[in-house]
A = this chain, B = another copy of it.
């Protein structure tokens, strides 16, 4: 991670010759100093996916002018692109229910400077975790959800997120399925942690399912939320070994560590603009 402010440009476009050269030349033309550049070609899809990061210091144009300067090249090469500035802290809303482990973990990492972002609010459908929010000095909003009021409550949550100019929504073991309207407001900007190695054990009570099947490893999966349950692009997964001795409670306990780490890695990668989702997959630029 560079301490100096940098720009990150994500590009996806039809594959063709000269893309790396033209993009690098663009940056160099305005005297940007490239510190990372990486790309991936999905040969089957004929798709070129690139991430390039350069230091802003010393550039001949201001950061506001970069997009305009890049637009002609982007149009000529039929690119979809996004431009990010790494000194702009992303604003994160964390949604929780009753489990505190992922919430603590994210807030402690934010305090330690591990996450390039800040958390202006926490939303829950329960009162339980208010003391955690208070310990970290973060406003805590409760929206109790029932089958009847769910759509309405989600609208109010969306308003609150808009007010706070939220960039990223993190579901830190939030035990409600978000409705399609909510999801559509944050495409590839809602990260969930599912406590199984997807696509095994979709849906509810995955540790119970794993215990019943007698697997020898349990997993956790962080993914972007789409309209289909537990189906969005996977960002990160990991597993831990279990044995016949482990009860469901042991799986839950061992799983907590896994959930924390897998969610934190995904959030961190997203905040560092290293995740490029395309179709049902993601490219993770290291």
Task: Tell me the A residues contacting B by CB distance below 8 Å.
Answer: 1, 17-22, 24-25, 27-28, 31-41, 43, 58, 100-101, 104, 108, 112, 114, 135, 197-201, 212-217, 219, 233-239, 243-245, 247, 249-250, 253, 256-257, 261, 280-284, 286
Contact = CB atoms under 8 A, between A and B. Distances in A.
State how many copies of this chain the complex holds: 4
Nearest to A131: B135
A80 B57 CA distance: 28
Nearest to A44: B247
Contacts of A214: 233-234, 280-282
Contacts of A25: 21, 24-25
Contact of A28 (B21, B34, B40, B216): B21
Main secondary structure of the interface of A (DSSP, over half): mixed
Given A244-B282, A245-B286, A236 B216 contact: yes
A22 B17 contact: no
12 contacts: A18-B33, A20-B28, A40-B244, A101-B108, A101-B112, A104-B108, A112-B253, A197-B217, A198-B200, A214-B280, A216-B236, A239-B239
A231 B11 CA distance: 42
A188 to B, nearest CB: 13
Contacts of A24: 20-21, 24-25
Given A38-B38, A214-B282, 15 more contacts: A18-B28, A35-B41, A40-B244, A101-B108, A104-B104, A197-B200, A197-B239, A198-B215, A199-B215, A214-B281, A216-B235, A216-B237, A217-B238, A243-B284, A244-B283
A17 B21 contact: no
Contacts of A197: 197, 200, 217, 219, 239
A251 to B, nearest CB: 13
